[in-house]
C-alpha cells in the first residue's frame, strides 16, 4: 500500500469583530486612528458597527484542513490507469475527490484515448478521409451516374490509365479472380472486395474493379460477365488478405454494375 497524499487549501479570511478596521490598510486596531496610515477610523468600520465579512463558499475539498487522497486517486495513478486501462482510469477519476473541472478535462481526454485505442487511429483517419473525399460520387442516383459514364475499351483504359483517372467510365468485363484487400481499415472496409477482370473475349489485358457498389451487391464469382459503371482510380496495388501477395493493375472504382446473363 502506498502512503496517502495531502494538500493544503487556502485559509479563510480572519476577522476581529472586537477591533476597529482601517478601510485602506485593512489592519485591526483598538484606538481611534490607524497605526499604519494615521487615518481616523470611520464609524461604519468601528467594532460593533462593522458588517461581518461574507463567507466564501468552498468546494468539498476546500477547507483549512489537510485533505487526504488515497494513493489510487492520486493523479499519477489515474494517468497511468487511463493509458493502460482507460475504463478503470475514468472510473477512478469520477470517484476521486478532485475538482470537477479537472475531472471533466481528464474524462474527456480518457474517452478520446479509449476511442483511439479501441478503434485505431487508422480507422479515424480513414473515416475522415472518406468524408472529405469519397471513393465514388454518392450524390448521383443510378440513372444520373450511368448517364455520366462514357464507354471505354479495356485495352485503351489499360494503356492510358492516367488519362482516365477520376473520369466516369463504363465497360463490359469478365471476372477472373476475386480477392480482399488486407490493408483496408475503418469506413473503407465496405470497399475491400476487388475483382481482377479481362474482357469477355479473354484479352491479355487485365484491370482491377473495386467494389464500391451503391445499390445491390451482386457478390460476383469467377466467370461472371459484368457491365460496370465507375470512376478511374489510376494504377493501384492491393495486398491479398489470404497470403498478402501484391496485386497491381489499373483500377476502376465501380459505383454500379449489372451482371450479364450468359
3-state secondary structure 35-47: CCCCCECCHHHCC
Band (pLDDT 50/70/90 cuts) for residue 243 is confident
**CA–CA dist 53, 242 (Å, integer):** 77
Q: Is the pLDDT of residue 134 over 70?
A: no
The residue with cell 474493379 is 209
Burial class (CB in 10 A: 0-12, 13-18, 19+), 194: buried
- Tell me, what's the pLDDT at 92? 78
pLDDT in tens, 176-233: 999 998 776 544 456 789 999 999 888 899 999 999 998 887 889 999 999 999 999 9
| 8 A C-beta contact, residue 93 and residue 87 | no
Q: What percent of the chain has pLDDT over 90?
A: 32
User: In the numeric block, which cell numbers belong to residue 204?
Assistant: 491479355
Helices 86-95 and 75-84 pack at an angle, to 10 degrees, of 150
| 8 A C-beta contact, residue 253 and residue 136 | yes
pTM of the model: 0.52
**CA–CA dist 128, 233 (Å, integer):** 19
Band (pLDDT 50/70/90 cuts) for residue 160 is very high
Band (pLDDT 50/70/90 cuts) for residue 45 is confident
The whole-chain average pLDDT of the chain stands at: 78
Nearest 5°: the CA angle 134, 227, 246 is 60
- What are the two backbone dihedrals, phi and then psi, of residue 95, each rounded to the nearest 5 degrees? -90, 0
- Tell me, what's the pLDDT at 12? 47
Amino acid at each position: 500500500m502506498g502512503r496517502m497524499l495531502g494538500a493544503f487549501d487556502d485559509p479563510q479570511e480572519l476577522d476581529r469583530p472586537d477591533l476597529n478596521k482601517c478601510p485602506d490598510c485593512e489592519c485591526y486596531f483598538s484606538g481611534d486612528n490607524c497605526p499604519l496610515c494615521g487615518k481616523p477610523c470611520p464609524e461604519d468600520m468601528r467594532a460593533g458597527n462593522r458588517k461581518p465579512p461574507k463567507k466564501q463558499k468552498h468546494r468539498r475539498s476546500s477547507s483549512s484542513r489537510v485533505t487526504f487522497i488515497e494513493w489510487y486517486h492520486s493523479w499519477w495513478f489515474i494517468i497511468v490507469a487511463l493509458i493502460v486501462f482507460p475504463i478503470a482510469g475514468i472510473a477512478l477519476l469520477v470517484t476521486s475527490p478532485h475538482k470537477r473541472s479537472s475531472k471533466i478535462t481528464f474524462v474527456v481526454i480518457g474517452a478520446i484515448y479509449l476511442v483511439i485505442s479501441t478503434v485505431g487511429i487508422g480507422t479515424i483517419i480513414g473515416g475522415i478521409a472518406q468524408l472529405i473525399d469519397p471513393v465514388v460520387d454518392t450524390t448521383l442516383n443510378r440513372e444520373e451516374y450511368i448517364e455520366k459514364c462514357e464507354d471505354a475499351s479495356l485495352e485503351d483504359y489499360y494503356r492510358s490509365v492516367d488519362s482516365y483517372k477520376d473520369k466516369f467510365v463504363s465497360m463490359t468485363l469478365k471476372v477472373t479472380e476475386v480477392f480482399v484487400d488486407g490493408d483496408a481499415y475503418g469506413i473503407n472496409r465496405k470497399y475491400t472486395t476487388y475483382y481482377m477482370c479481362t474482357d469477355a473475349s479473354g484479352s491479355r489485358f487485365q484491370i482491377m474493379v473495386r467494389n464500391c457498389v451503391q445499390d445491390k451487391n451482386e457478390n460476383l464469382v469467377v466467370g461472371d460477365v459484368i457491365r460496370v459503371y465507375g470512376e478511374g482510380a489510376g494504377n493501384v496495388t492491393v495486398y491479398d488478405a489470404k497470403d498478402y501477395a501484391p496485386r497491381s493493375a489499373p483500377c476502376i472504382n465501380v459505383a454500379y454494375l449489372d451482371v450479364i446473363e450468359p
